[in-house]
Structure 1
Amino acid sequence: MSELNLTRLYAADAGFESQLDALLAWDESEDAAIHQRVLEIIGRVRREGDAAVLDYTARFDHYEAGSAAALELPRAELKRAWDSLPAEQASALQKAAERVRAYAEHQKADSWRYTEADGTVLGQQVTPLDRAGVYVPGGKAAYPSSVLMNVIPAKVAGVPEIVMVVPTPRGEVNALVLAAAYLSGVDRVFRIGGAQAVAALAYGTQTIPRVDKIVGPGNIYVATAKKLVFGQCGIDMIAGPSEILVISDGLTDPDWIAMDLFSQAEHDEDAQAILISPDAAHLDAVAASIDRLLPTMARREVIAASLGKRGALIQVGDLEQAAEVANRIAPEHLELSVADPEALTRRIRNAGAIFMGRYTAEALGDYCAGPNHVLPTAGTARFSSPLGVYDFQKRSSLIFCSADGADVLGRTASVLARGEGLEAHARSAEFRIKP
């Protein structure tokens, strides 16, 4: 058994459902103190604009910009970062960008219309957002992959202007992040972060333009700010900690499984890594691999905290039951480490991304497989989807009525409007009815 005292659950136990609920519980976004603090930040940015952003940047990021104009990084600096990258990094970034773009091209929705017999034309017009905002974390770690995943789908959708915000603690910039911004086609970059950056994007300041939608991951303050500005602008999702759920038939190398669990646990102490298998001996073997491999990891303290607090090994009766439990969890990342992943995939209804087969490590999806790594967390895969081109496109209904069509539709609309007691609606339709 694991020295971490990993939670061990058994699907056959009478209390399994309640135990699973307790394991999955996540409600940090409802912290009242954080909520109030973020409200104050948003309110001040709305009132004071650039002055508030400059003050918060100095206070939280310890960076004195001097002026609002100095918060913007010129495109020439982005290009210098790209030009100065080591060849190996530049090549990897380029390959990842190409794969993300190729996948995104398949997601583009097209406008359509059809004509009815009386000449009425109905359809849908698809247009890109005018301006999108991308939040890129810059605190504990730098994520150039996040730049690619958030910016490229917007570019493929045809968004004319993309504004990126990234905190630069103590003025330090990350060359790989700036290079990714250059490569993916970001139009403007501001060195700000936190709730104040979200507020600036949502409402605009004297220097920072207001956007139509904010996407990208961040800490609890960023997530709370996104929740609070929703309605003023769109957001991608309220993201919780990273998650991985692995279903194994017991025949995958236990070391592989352990490292796959580590790959998400190393993000932060609140990340969640779970293994499901019908093979008790396999669960024991993976626990042993965890104990043996953990001391070799650079981020072993973070991994240990994550696995100890929110990790679990779950024993089920068979793979069919494993799929049922997975659908109940609705994980961000789901690995199907089984002999016939295609068959098991057909049983999965709720998952952000499904990694099929023993050789498909979740980490490949984080960087370069092609599909987006911005995924629903905390069970929201039950009703939401990965970030994609469609998140940067709007759909407008098209309706054209011929004289004959107005006559036919007007008679139906009149009856329904009068049934609802809305006379003006009815008479508006009736004016177009033929005598």
Structure 2
Amino acid sequence: MTDLTVTRLCAAQADFDAELGRLLAWEGSVDQQVNDSVRHILQAVKSEGDAAVLRFTTQFDQLDAASVAELEIPPERLQQALQTIPAAQREALQQAAQRVRDYHEHQVQASWQYEEADGTLLGQKVTPLDRAGLYVPGGKATYPSSVLMNAIPAKVAGVGEVIMVVPTPGGVLNEMVLAAAAIAGVDRVFTIGGAQAVAALAYGTATIPAVDKIVGPGNIYVATAKREVFGTVGIDMIAGPSEILVICDGHTDPDWIAMDLFSQAEHDEQAQSILLSPSREFLDQVEASMRKLLPTMERADIIRASLNQRGALIEVADLAEAAAISNRIAPEHLELSVENPHSLLAQIRHAGAIFLGRYTAEALGDYCAGPNHVLPTSATARFSSPLGVYDFQKRSSLIGFSARGADTMGRVASVLARGEGLTAHARSAEYRIQSDGESQS
């Protein structure tokens, strides 16, 4: 068993930028074998439909069925799961769902329009997607919280139908996942997974309807399949390993910070947990806490591997420097475990979710705070946002010119179109110019 050897860095060291770059580097490329396998599965499902889905489900999940219809879980089975799981689990799911729903209702965008003085109307029509597909991991990992986080925003947005796919290796169902689907209002659930499930959602089969967008986490085959079908359907994002960055002034209980770092490290060996603090003594205390607490963790081997490979304790000059380094990292999760988090917040520009103050553990955001836990990773918070209602709505521009407006703007369009050499564009606009009652040639 390898000892815990977390990287220690100081922002003042001459090679800090290079060392930080090496720490943050993550090889997210997919090897050719995975690409080839995924493309084979996608093409098979696209051309063979249900038959290919059944074949791959038998091959990868050891689940035999005579038809894809047999792999659909009826709504009454979802309700049964909701009623039979332990009361504490049911109440926790319901509480979390209500908070997620309340938060996302604030994100709903409405259509709008305005009228100019000449009677021209301009605006935007906001419309929900007709159908969304939700991928939920199964087998080794089961995430009922992800069901809530992906399905509820879709429902709040007004999506007409939410189709959930979840692999059930050997036919083993996770009751909390089914209960979460019932609470979130998922319309249909199919026990399929992998690239074949992504293909079925993207292309549609005789039994599984094609969707407009696919959301939800999955393994490398699922992520690769989502990347391949993008364009045929929308996707939420291509997620990398989970990340947490903690900025602490040195006055939070070091055991709390150690466990916060563990909370992401336990996801997988590639997860990244980093602590920034101006106090070297505090960094020592947190490292001691990590060594003390690690043997008590069920997933100690995964945590140890994650911290040894990609974790770091970094000494900074002050909190301002910590904020600057945080902006460079653009973490998925950022904890501001400081006395005045709102003051430091003003300096933060890039982060998926920001957790304010000593009492705000990142884990609360994963389950029940309300904001979405589907967040941009691998520094994509520089240009991406958390999953939300806006991901399930699309916007159409509204343009309605009055005769007077068409006359005025037609002259502008004519000049610009002829400048681009697009005569048909110009003449189309010129036909509406009323000054001389005739089109210009």
User: TM class by shorter-chain length?
Assistant: over 0.9
Partners of 1:282 and 1:139 in 2: how far apart? 40
Equivalent residue letter for 1:278: P
- What is the correspondence of 1:98-247 to structure 2 with a 5 Å cutoff? 98-247=98-247
* Secondary structure at 1:60 match in 2: helix
1:330-357 deviation digits (Å, cap 9, x = unpaired): 1100000000100111111100000000
Match of 1:267 in 2: 267
- Secondary structure of the structure 2 residue equivalent to 1:108: coil
Amino acid at match of 1:151: A
Contact 1:137 1:167 in 2 (8 A): yes
Kindly report structure 1 stretches of 4+ aligned residues shifted beyond 2 Å.
27-33
Q: Cα RMSD (Å) of the superposition? A: 1.0
Instruction: State the partner residue of 1:388.
Output: 388
- The whole-number CA distance in structure 1 between the counterparts of 2:198 and 2:416 is 44
Query: For the residues of structure 1 that align with 2:407 and 2:68, how far apart are their CA atoms?
Result: 58
Partners of 1:136 and 1:291 lie apart in 2 by 34
**Superposition deviation, residue 28 in structure 1:** 2.7
What is the aligned partner in structure 2 of residue 341 from structure 1?
341
TM-score for the superposition, normalised by structure 2: 0.97
TM-score (norm 1): 0.98
Mapped partners of 2:338, 2:101: distance in 1:
30
Partner of 2:439: none
Q: Which amino acid aligns with 1:399?
A: I
Equivalent pair of 1:244/1:273 in contact (CA under 8 Å): yes
Letter in 1 for 2:363: A
Q: Partners of 2:29 and 2:176 in 1: how far apart?
A: 30
Q: Give unpaired runs (5+ residues) of structure 2.
A: 437-441
Query: 1:74-120: per-residue Cα shift (whole Å, max 9, x none)?
Result: 11111110111211111111100000000000000011001001110
Q: State the shift of 1:139 in Å.
A: 2.4
- For residue 34 of structure 1, what is the amino acid of its counterpart? V
- For the 8 Å contact 1:129–1:392, the answer to whether it is kept is yes
Q: Distance in 1 between matches of 2:116 and 2:339?
A: 50
User: 2:149 is aligned with what amino acid?
Assistant: M
Q: What corresponds to 2:377 in structure 1? A: 377
User: Structure 1 residue 30: deviation in Å?
Assistant: 3.2
- Identify the residue that residue 35 of structure 1 maps to in structure 2: 35
Q: 1:50 aligns to what?
A: 50
2: CA distance, partners of 1:356 / 1:423:
58
What amino acid is aligned across from residue 333 of structure 2 in structure 1? H
CA distance in 2, matches of 1:237, 1:185: 23
1:29–1:220 contact (8 Å) kept in structure 2: no
Displacement of 1:3: 4.3
Q: Determine the structure 2 residue equivalent to 1:408.
A: 408
SS in 1 for 2:214: strand
Secondary structure at the counterpart of residue 313 of structure 1? strand
Aligned to 2:76: 76
Structure 1: unaligned runs, 5 residues or longer: none
Q: Percent identity?
A: 70
Q: How many equivalent pairs are there? A: 434
Q: Which amino acid aligns with 1:291?
A: R
Deviates more, 1:11-20 or 1:339-348: 11-20
Measured after TM superposition, the shift of residue 29 of structure 1 is: 3.5
How is 1:284-299 mapped onto 2 (pairs within 5 angstroms)? Answer: 284-299=284-299
> Any conservation in 2 of the 1:29–1:224 contact (CA below 8 Å)?
no
Match of 1:399 in 2: 399
User: Mean alpha-carbon deviation: is it higher for 415-424 or for 222-231?
Assistant: 222-231
Aligned AA (1:322): A
CA distance in 2, matches of 1:175, 1:351: 34
Q: Give the distance between the partners of 1:38 and 1:313, measured in 2 at CA.
A: 38
Which stretch of the first structure deviates more once superposed, 362-371 or 133-142?
133-142
**Offset at residue 66 of structure 1 (A):** 2.3
Alignment of 1:412-427 (within 5 A): 412-427=412-427
Letter in 2 for 1:411: R
